[in-house]
Every structure is written in structure tokens, then in C-alpha cells.
Amino acid sequence: MSAAAAASPATGTTHRRIVDAAYACMARDGIAEVTLEDVARQAGLARATIYRAFPGGRDELVAAVVAAAVAEFFAGLQADIGEVADVTSLLERGLVAARRRLDEHAVLQRTLQAEADQIVPQLATVMPVIVELLAAELASRLARERLRPGVEVGEAADLLARLALSFIGTPGAWDMDDPAAVRRLVRGQLLAGVLDEGR
């Protein structure tokens, strides 16, 4: 898997090559074990080149790898979901597809088992950006829906983005493989206070 596939094009090919190499090393040896020497060897680059590209060293590189992997995850998710105009379908399809992608993400699953102390804080760092991006997606759909009295698009989008990510990471009592359960979750819980269905 190419971790940098979804990274900003402005980062250039050297950045991308280094991030890809670092992802490969981290997936193989674990985040805590990775050294810049390993990454340099994997990328076929000099250590100095890596320092030039990532002046913050190892910490900056690990953060960049996580950010790239997260970006790739959501790009893949967007492709799974396809074009969706309404917020209900977006959430229903999104929850199912995201859950499946998480389950099938072998590197993430292994890392969560072995190195939760490394990966979870890294993910928590990028979480505000993810919430913001997802909230923007949701807000553009909410703006076209009939909302219940008192609902404000920005608030609703923020709340929905936060809760959707929570349910994706941890389904709790909800069976995300059961379409009826996902419908109940999305329509009966997430959107119950948001959409005006003519009640």
C-alpha cells in the first residue's frame, strides 16, 4: 500500500518516496522501532536527504506517515461511497464502508494491537482536521435538507462528524454489518435531532 498516494502533490516526489519508505518500515517493524537509518536504507536515499526533507527528524516523519495514511484511508472511503447527494445516504454508506475499511486495514489493526500507545495519540493529533473535513462534507448536504427548528448547520455538521467518527472507531452495541441496524443508528439517532421529516 502506498501511504503517500493521497498526500499533497506539493510535497514532491522525494517527500513521497521517504514517506512511502517510512510507512513500509513502520508496517514491518512497528512505529517505536523505526529509525531514520532504516528509512534511508528502505528509500535508497542518504540520511542527509531525509533530514533535509524532514528537518523535524523522526517525529515529523512519523506524523507525516500517519497523516498520509489517514488521507489515503479517506480517499479510498470516498471512492467506496461514490457520489451521494443526501446526508442520510452519505452517513449510512459511509459508516458501513469505513467500518469495513478499518477491519480490513491489516497494518492499522496490527498497530492498534501492538502499539496503541504510539498510534492513538498520532491519530488524535490529526483528528481535528478529519472532523473539520467531514463536517464540511456534511454541512454542504445539510444545507440542502429541511432541518428541524433551531438546528444550525455548523453545529449539526460538527456533532455528526464527531459522532460518525466515534461509531466508526468503536461500534459499541451497534452491528455495522447489519444494514437495518445502521439505518436505525443513522436515522433514529444521528439524524433524529437534525432532519425535519415532517413530524
Partner 1 sequence: MTGATTPDLAPPGSATLAAVDGWASDYVTIDGTERRLVEAALRCVTRWGIRKTSLDDIAREAAVSRATVYRMFPGGKDRLVEAVFCHEAGRLFHEIDADLANAATLEELLVSGITAMLRVVDDHAVVSSLIRHEPDLVLPHFAFHQLGRVLDLAEGLCRPHLERFLPPADVRPAAELLARVVLTFGFRPAAWVDPHDPDSIRRLVSTYLLPAITPSTDTHVLETT
Judged by the rule CB under 8 A, the positions of this chain that interact with partner 1 are: 112, 116-118, 120-121, 123-124, 127-128, 131, 148, 150-152, 154-156, 158-159, 162-163, 166-167, 169-170, 172-174, 183-184, 187-190, 192-194, 197, 199
Shortest distance in whole angstroms from residue 79 CB to partner 1: 23
Q: Which residue carries 540520511 as its cell?
A: 47
Q: Which CB, 3 or 123, lies closer to partner 1?
A: 123
CB 90 within 8 A of CB 96: no
CB 160 within 8 A of CB 95: no
Shortest distance in whole angstroms from residue 172 CB to partner 1: 5
Q: Which CB, 8 or 109, lies closer to partner 1?
A: 109
- Measure the CA–CA gap between 22 and 153, rounded to whole angstroms: 40
Q: Which CB, 5 or 163, lies closer to partner 1?
A: 163
One-letter-per-residue 3-state SS of 116-175? HHHHHHHHHHHHHHHHHHHHHHHHHHHCCCCECCCCCHHHHHHHHHHHHHHHHHCCCCCC
Shortest distance in whole angstroms from residue 155 CB to partner 1: 5
Q: Which CB, 4 or 168, lies closer to partner 1?
A: 168
Shortest distance in whole angstroms from residue 189 CB to partner 1: 5
Nearest CA-CA partner of 7 in 105, 18, 25, 35:
18
